[in-house]
Amino acid sequence: MRTYTMDAKMDKPLSDKSAGSETTLHVLDSLLQDSGQKKINESQLMIILDALATSDDAAMVARFPAVLAICARRGLGLNSQALFSRYWETSPKRQNLEKLMLVSSTLFALEGLTPPRNLDKIAASLSPKYGDLLASGEFQLSNGMCISVRNLQTTLKNFTANHFTPSRIQSRAVPVTSGNLNMLLDRLFSPKQKELVFKKLDGKMFTKTEREYYSRTVRKKLEAIANDDVAMLAKKLMSK
């Protein structure tokens, strides 16, 4: 088994293209293509995530969710203190990290993938600050560069297709524009109920027990949510 050691080039800013951006991209792609055989620890992953978030190369930034998938694959959790504490809350670098974390959390949910530990918790705390970054299909980083949500999602899909077994990939036919759907559903449904919602959405067969539970409980919740009077009441109360 090979051991992956942080290349000295990784200590250089990924945004400095004259200092070996192409070489860094090659090293990063090598990591993504063979993550199951290379040992990498939590602190090294934090360095990579931080470097990607400050890069001025969109191709590098697009690999951010795939690196988070490595965290999940290796059972590594995300330490928000380690990620964000180095910067002031208003720091552009911190804001880049926060935006990428928030968008990545939603992409994991849309792809039906298990996120690294604490990603959903981090995203939930950031959602009120940034709102729905996916609605327009792109969002802007502090250097003015626009990041395509589709590119982020495609990179994540390609990585998981190559390195995750089919049983770990559960495609959900939910449009990218649904934003923070996963986090909103968490507020309304238990984990089992949410599982049945997506199972129904994907057109998958229920067992007899699941069918009865869905009809008795989940469907009634959905009917209440879809009711115009309930929606109007919610909007009225939120405006007070």
156-167 pLDDT tens trace: 988 887 665 443
Does the residue 231 lie in any domain?
yes
Clarify whether residues 95 and 207 are in a common domain: no
Does 25 map to a domain? yes
Domain end point (choices 143, 159, 187): 187
Same domain, 50 and 71: yes
Strands 138-140 and 146-148: antiparallel
Position 117 pLDDT exceeds 50? yes
The answer to whether 114 touches 165, Cβ cutoff 8 Å, is: no
Q: What is the CA radius of gyration of the chain?
A: 20
User: Token pair of 194, please?
Assistant: 């949410």
- Residues 169 and 78 grouped into a single domain: yes
Do 12 and 98 fall within a single domain? yes
Are 99 and 214 within one domain? no
Does 22 share its domain with 75? yes
| Tally of domains within the chain | 2
147, 92: one domain? yes
pLDDT at 65: 93
Phi, psi of 73 (to 5 degrees): -60, -35
Q: What is the pLDDT of residues 55-84, one digit of tens each?
A: 888 988 999 999 998 888 888 888 888 888
73 and 128 housed in the same domain: yes
Which parts of the chain fold into alpha helices (H)? 21-33, 42-53, 58-61, 64-73, 80-84, 92-111, 119-130, 149-163, 181-188, 191-201, 208-213, 219-226, 228-239
First to last CA, the chain: 60
- Please count the CA atoms within 13 angstroms of the CA of 90 that sit on its side-chain side: 0
**Which phi and psi angles does 27 have, rounded to 5°?**
-65, -45
| 3 falls within a domain | no
User: Does residue 1 form part of some domain?
Assistant: no
Q: Is residue 24 assigned to a domain?
A: yes
Mean pLDDT of 208-230: 81
State how far the Cα of 233 lies from the Cα of 236, in Å rounded to an integer: 5
- Residues 123, 90 within the same domain: yes
Predicted pLDDT at 240: 66
Whether residue 2 is contained in a domain is answered as no
- Mean pLDDT over 115-120 rounds to 88
pLDDT computed for residue 148 by the predictor = 92
- Looking at the structure, tell me whether residues 212 and 135 fall in a common domain: no
**Residue 118 included in any domain:** yes
Q: Is residue 75 part of a domain?
A: yes
| 102 and 213 share one domain | no
With contact defined as beta carbons under 8 Å apart, do 98 and 84 qualify? yes
The pTM for the full model equals 0.59
**Structural domain span for residue 86:** 8-187
45 and 147 co-located in one domain: yes
pLDDT at 158: 85
Q: How confident is the model at residue 95 (pLDDT cuts 50, 70, 90)?
A: very high
